[in-house]
Amino acid sequence: MASPEITLEAVSSARQIGAADWNACANPPNCGAAGRVYNPFVDYAFFDAVEQSNSACPRTGWAPRHLVARRGGAVVGLVPCYLKSHSQGEYVFDRGWADAYERAGGRYYPKLQASVPFTPATGPRLLVRGGAEDAEAIRSALGSGLMALCNATDASSVHVTFAPEDEWKFLASQGFLQRTDQQFHWHNSGYATFEDFLATLSSRHRKAIRRERRDALAAGISIHVLSGTDLTEEIWDSFFEFYMETGSRKWGRPYLTRAFYSLIGATMPDRIALIMAKRNGRWIAGAINFIGGDTLFGRHWGAVEHHPFLHFEVCYYQAIDFAIRHRLARVEAGAQGEHKLARGYLPQTTYSAHYIADPALRRAVRDYLQRERMYVAEAGRQLAEAGPFRKTASDHETS
């Protein structure tokens, strides 16, 4: 007997799908056995938190339009997706496309964004239920469904950002345009201690990092890594103060509400590593990290006191230390930042796929992306060559 046909629908909240069905597609039980790795940024708890806290909602320009694939009524796949009225909180920048299109008389917004709100972390976007026998058919249905949803919502485009390379190639076969960008990730080569990592660097970089770590704590600052039951409401109050202070200066208007932190603290506390700095009995700075199956994902940081190199210590060196202790394969330290290179974070290509409905805009963007991909590849090559790791025998001197 033939399998029932796959049907597609768009829903306006993660709760309309539910935790069980969502996670059966995003992070299925025993996902490691199927070659998949737990990713906190496709977990139901994260999406439910950003939506229920009114961080990602129609009022903020993030209207949920999650694409759901069903067979015989059962959820077999989904794509987290939002109808956007702007291009903020995405970290793959298309404002130039929007400006050019609107100057030519087009209407760029709304657009569809298949991504994790406010989160430049890599991970799957075409989520297929674990154990599905026809995973490729489901994935094909989701890819074509995104284009159909674009037309149904009168959107100008669909943007699938920070996707795995295999999804990027797959979507290209369905007519999406290919874009690359660059982040800086730290890779664990089986280090037992932070000093083992330092031993792989050139003498100049080893000395600089040791000096930065020492100077960061020189004002009597102590570092605390909090997780699980450590994440009290008082802790979140302090961290939210840091987030608002730094986010207001950096972005103008921070994206996340205070309620978001309470929600993730309640639903995924063991997947959070909150690195906090204290001085004179007062919390003064912190960085939030999410713990994946093999990756520590660094997100945002904030501070109410500013001390030399404290940002590097809290965000980069403590993250490396945590990954080594917990035997994680890598640290993703968020978007941009060539200053991360000297701290052992190497350039890593990231991938996004874009469907543009208007043929004229699609041709212009396609030509631009072809040039941009060449630039990104060459920049990554040059940056990798300039990395801090030892290259010659003279770099083996003790320090």
* Contact present, 313 and 322 (Cβ < 8 Å): no
Number of H helices, E strands in the chain: 12, 15
- Position 249 scores a pLDDT of 66
Cα–Cα distance between 128 and 34 in angstroms, integer? 12
Cα–Cα distance between 205 and 83 in angstroms, integer? 45
- The residue ranges of the chain whose pLDDT is under 50 are 1, 393-399
Domains of the chain: 6-175 (3.40.630.30), 185-347 (3.40.630.30)
Residue with tokens 């207001």: 248
Phi/psi at 152 (5° precision): -70, -30
- Position 397 scores a pLDDT of 46
Q: Which amino acid is at 329?
A: A
Phi/psi at 369 (5° precision): -65, -30
- Position 131 scores a pLDDT of 85
Q: Cβ-count burial of 359 within 10 angstroms (0-12 exposed, 13-18 middle, 19+ buried)?
A: exposed
- Position 248 scores a pLDDT of 66
- Position 395 scores a pLDDT of 46
- Position 338 scores a pLDDT of 87
Residues 121-165: pLDDT tens digits? 999 999 999 888 899 999 999 999 999 999 999 999 999 999 999
Residues 265-310: pLDDT tens digits? 999 999 999 999 999 999 999 999 999 999 999 999 999 999 999 9
For residue 352, how many C-alpha atoms fall within 13 Å in the half-sphere facing its CB? 28
Q: Cβ-count burial of 128 within 10 angstroms (0-12 exposed, 13-18 middle, 19+ buried)?
A: buried
- Position 324 scores a pLDDT of 98
Cα–Cα distance between 370 and 179 in angstroms, integer? 8
- Position 1 scores a pLDDT of 41
pTM: 0.94
β-bridge mates for residue 224, sequence order: 276
Residue 346 CB contacts under 8 Å (≥ 6 apart), including other chains: 184, 185, 186, 187, 383, 384, 387
Residue 334 CB contacts under 8 Å (≥ 6 apart), including other chains: 120, 121, 183, 298, 299, 300
Counting other chains too, the contacts that 100-106 makes at CB distance below 8 Å and 24 or more residues apart are 100/361, 100/364, 101/156, 101/358, 101/361, 104/360, 106/156, 106/358, 106/361
- Position 252 scores a pLDDT of 62
